[in-house]
Structure 1
């Protein structure tokens, strides 16, 4: 356990020093919040009600889907994962360290957004902060599970960027972060149900803000959790399969 915590502490520091991670975890999400948040708040004052939730979904999704997978692929490309396995360090433990590190960084960003939104844009404070926190944890879990799945599936950095973009853009455009899903054609609304961000945003609205939703908030939260569990299971299975093939 001491070795695990030491590795986690080291990874947190390395993430902060890595320009790519810093860009995707902190700089771009926060810049998006301050710039696009200002646009949303001025163009449509109604968005102030759930601005913190919408911007948190964007920040967490971007960090987990765009910023989290590349380091995992790099570990495999450079042979670091193989070296860990040869020296008896369990691969799942390495994945867990990187996942927890991403969880901490993204939690910090989401907290900054949650605190800054009411102060900067006079956004509404959640009616139920504890439920807001629960939904945020589910968002982090589901999004990081997506990142894990991409990281163990992509064969190179190029494929990683492609897979990440194929997940990130629909998550942003079809979930209701940028505009209400009611404005989308029915077929695109159904496609949006593939992504956890859609369910999490409904849970934020209904559970934390007591706002009207078109889905049951509790069912939405359960759906996002199930998707996260399924992706985590797949990621562990895929890693084990890849590891066996590499050690042959």
Structure 2
């Protein structure tokens, strides 16, 4: 019955264009430390109560676990999946995939409602898998991919697609995290909390708090930015210093 109600709620949301309401989701507590482990798992110290891990990894049995899903771009190791099965959903210019050169990731084509729905179904299956594994939240990365598309993608495309992703998360019973894009109010499409990379470096943490209060997870990659973020926000937000490669043996520091 609960699944039927969620499905009907999702259908009604898409019909009227309103922000999807969160179902029975649990938010991560801001009163604990966080670790960001996309490069591989590592045992958590007792004071760490939140962890973010890749969707292919197992969640923590103790800490609130956030599942990482690359919602707007492709993972470099999944190119054969997209090329062989969903090549039409990859953004192209002159027949060639548009690449985020910083990470070697292809951008997904979210320009039309039909393509957004097809992509959301793929992401929805992955999100359901996260829920089945025991995750409590999900992070959809590269919300700002439209800024790297050479003008092919627009902010409105990202907003409409994000709404579908949030609905998929809520239908699976997971809280949905807005990843980056400071200043944009993701609560308008139903995001529940935020994960901000280097908001200390760019003095943006307060912009996320204006929409999500203290439900903002901060990841810094430079020691001086970490020190600033801890001094400014450490009493209110969970903040971690990591190495860029996010390796298990790399830097793990907490405020």
TM over 0.5: no
> Higher RCO, 1 or 2 (CA under 8 Å, sep at least 6)?
1
Q: Which has the higher strand share?
A: 2
